[in-house]
Homo-oligomer: A and B are copies of this chain.
């Protein structure tokens, strides 16, 4: 017997309709590529998103056709989020930090028909347009006056012209909530990129979950600054959760340096910000250098890669900002776990609480997770056993776009490629990427543990631990280090720094100083590249 409740599909357009009706005056503030500050409200965002939908109709796009973006966090990008998906097309956000060759490959693989881009990325579009014959319309996110005259790009139009003549009304269509809404390619370090194809249903469920008190805790009283890019996993779903909660939205545009982000946090009374460690490092650096404080910032969620404990400490102790560790991935929309305490922890001493905060956190309802050993059997949640981490839930992919890479699931669970422990309270801690873990004499050494100790040294800016072949132990860890500007530390000094902080056999065998560690398109260290660079490296005495 079925229940007798109303059968409303969960659609992204309903988020916009809700925001327009119930939060019409909530502010959306953007630092534009043009440099100035733009501000308007959901009322206007909604009207312009409807113009986008009408423009797509006029361009001849059908249901499920793909519209690509190469854009920063800003109001025009937001309009595309809702106008494209709301009208039944698929929003394809492209990471502009990828190589143009790869961008062209991705655009063709996705069969993009329209490409909207911030002028920052004009050179990319100039480099690829000839290789992407499927794109019938290039839209520069600017007005006519800013449109470059001799770009050489065919079918180029200024966004304001493209939507300008369109009606500000649109009847959002009703369709299956499992329809594709948006897509994002993973910046795979091996092989071609593969895309997660999100649905309206998965996006709405994720938006509910992301807003909850134990996740991003978003309310209509918040002013929210997503540093996490809208070009990668939908800025952790914040644009959707913002419409769902009616919070104020503050977009930093391309200016992610410490000074610019700080100014925006202060001028817009930001209460919550979300980002990756690298951007926060720049922000903290700016605060320290200039003796500044936060007036309104209360909490941040940090994810994208493991956050150095020292940074969590600094935010909490020096600036009174609650730092929450998050973990997720492109294939997970992206949120999987968040690290908040439980009722039972409230009476614990701060040091005990800090031990919990350093973990990646607990599963959000919707996501289940488990760790398995090499034989595939589930391992105990004792905080010690570490194994391959698998997840499942309604906002996790079941396969990649076009079936690339075959069936990724193992018995219905998605293997994350991370190695982790889970404690009896359900707190998960990433110990390594499965491909980065170092196997020394039959024992596993976590490259992340080795790196965390190195970056705790005052002279170290960045550290990457990789395994190198060893005749006796199979593999031994070495640590590749970038020193802070003007700082000095010797190999011997750094190795001594490990003593007493980890088991002796887990101390790296060598330190290699480099000027820079290669970073991928989402800011993660590219250890594959590093291993290639160091392929002729030999261990001392080996």
A383 to chain B, nearest CB (A): 14
A344–B222 CA distance with the chains assembled, in angstroms: 10
A213, B340: Cβ atoms closer than 8 Å: no
Question: Separation in Å of the A59 CB from the closest CB of chain B?
Answer: 18
Partner among B64, B211, B343, B412 whose Cβ is within 8 Å of the Cβ of A213: B211
Q: Roughly how many angstroms separate A140 CA and B394 CA in the complex, as a whole number?
A: 39
Q: Is A181 an interface residue (CB 8 A)?
A: yes
CB pair A1–B64 under 8 Å, yes or no, is yes
Interface residue ranges of A174-193 to B (CB < 8 Å): 176, 178-181
Contact B201 A3 (CB under 8 A): yes
Cα-based distance from A2 to B90 in the complex (angstroms): 10
Number of interface residues of A (CB under 8 A): 80
Cβ contact within 8 Å between B245 and A213: yes
Which A419-435 residues have a C-beta within 8 angstroms of B?
A: 424-426
Given A21-B426, A214-B245, CB of A223 within 8 Å of CB of B343: yes
State A217–B396 Cα separation when bound (angstroms): 25
**Any chain B CB within 8 A of the CB of A393?**
yes
A394 partner, pick from B5, B202, B219, beta carbons under 8 A: B5
Interchain CB contact under 8 A, A394 and B10: yes
Inter-chain CA distance A436–B193, complex, in Å, is 64
Residues of B near A247 (CB, < 8 A) are 343
A201 touches B5 (CB 8 A): yes
Q: Give, as a whole number of angstroms, the nearest-CB distance from A437 to chain B.
A: 25
Contact B21 A395 (CB under 8 A): no
Measured CA separation A64–B247 after assembly (Å)? 41
Q: Cβ of A478: which chain B residues have Cβ within 8 Å of it?
A: none
CB neighbours of A22 from chain B (8 A): 362-363, 426
A400 at the interface (CB under 8 A from B): yes
B residues less than 8 Å from A8 (CB atoms): 392-394
Residues in chain B near residue A342, CB distance under 8 A: 23, 26, 220-221, 246
Known A-B contacts A22-B363, A220-B340, A397-B6; the reply to A212 vs B214 at CB < 8 A is no
Residue of B nearest to A221 (CB): B343
Q: Is A31 an interface residue (CB 8 A)?
A: no
Q: Which of A25, A213, A397, A425 has the most chain B CB within a 10 Å cutoff? A: A213
Given contacts A208-B208, A213-B218, A362-B220, contact A200 B3 (CB under 8 A): yes
- Once the chains are docked, how many angstroms separate the CA of A17 from the CA of B366? 11
Q: Does chain B have a CB within 8 A of A401?
A: yes
Q: How far is the CA of A470 from the CA of B108 in the complex (A)?
A: 77
Which of A6, A202, A218, A246 is the most central at the interface, judged by chain B CB atoms within 10 Å of its CB? A6
Report the nearest B residue to A398, measured CB to CB.
B6
Which residues of A from 307 to 345 have beta carbons under 8 Å from B? 333, 340-345
Digitize A194-214: 1 where CB-to-B-CB distance is under 8 Å, 0 elsewhere: 001111111001001101111
How far is the CB of A28 from the nearest CB of chain B, in Å? 12
Q: State whether A343 touches B26 (Cβ < 8 A).
A: yes
In the docked arrangement, what's the CA distance between A246 and B341, Å?
11
Q: List which A14-44 residues lie within 8 A (CB) of chain B.
A: 15, 17-18, 21-27
Question: With an 8 A cutoff between CB atoms, is A346 at the interface?
Answer: yes
A267 within 8 A of B: no
**Chain B residues, Cβ within 8 Å of A211:** 212-213
Chain A positions 238 through 262: 1 when the CB is less than 8 Å from some CB of chain B, otherwise 0:
0000001111100000000000000
Task: Give the distance to chain B from A416, nearest Cβ to Cβ, in Å.
Answer: 14
For the complex, give the distance between the alpha carbons of A30 and B147 in Å.
68
**Would B368 and A18 count as touching, CB distance under 8 A?**
yes
Question: Residue of B at shortest CB range from A218?
Answer: B213
Q: Does A290 contact B (CB under 8 A)?
A: no
- Whether B208 contacts A214 by the Cβ 8 Å rule is no
CB nearest neighbor in B for A427: B22
| Chain B residues whose CB sits within 8 angstroms of the CB of A425 once the complex forms | 25
Mark out the residues of chain A between 362 and 404 whose CB falls within 8 Å of any chain B CB in the assembled complex.
362-363, 365, 368, 392-401
Q: In the complex, given contacts A5-B178, A5-B197, A222-B343, what are 20 additional A-B residue pairs having Cβ atoms less than 8 angstroms apart?
A: A1-B179, A2-B179, A3-B180, A4-B180, A4-B197, A4-B399, A5-B202, A5-B394, A5-B396, A6-B396, A8-B394, A22-B426, A25-B344, A208-B212, A211-B213, A212-B213, A214-B245, A220-B340, A221-B342, A246-B342
29 contacts between A and B (CB under 8 A): A1-B64, A1-B179, A1-B180, A2-B176, A2-B178, A2-B180, A3-B197, A3-B200, A4-B399, A4-B401, A5-B397, A6-B393, A6-B396, A6-B398, A8-B392, A10-B394, A22-B362, A24-B426, A25-B344, A205-B208, A208-B209, A211-B212, A212-B245, A214-B219, A214-B245, A214-B246, A220-B341, A221-B343, A245-B365
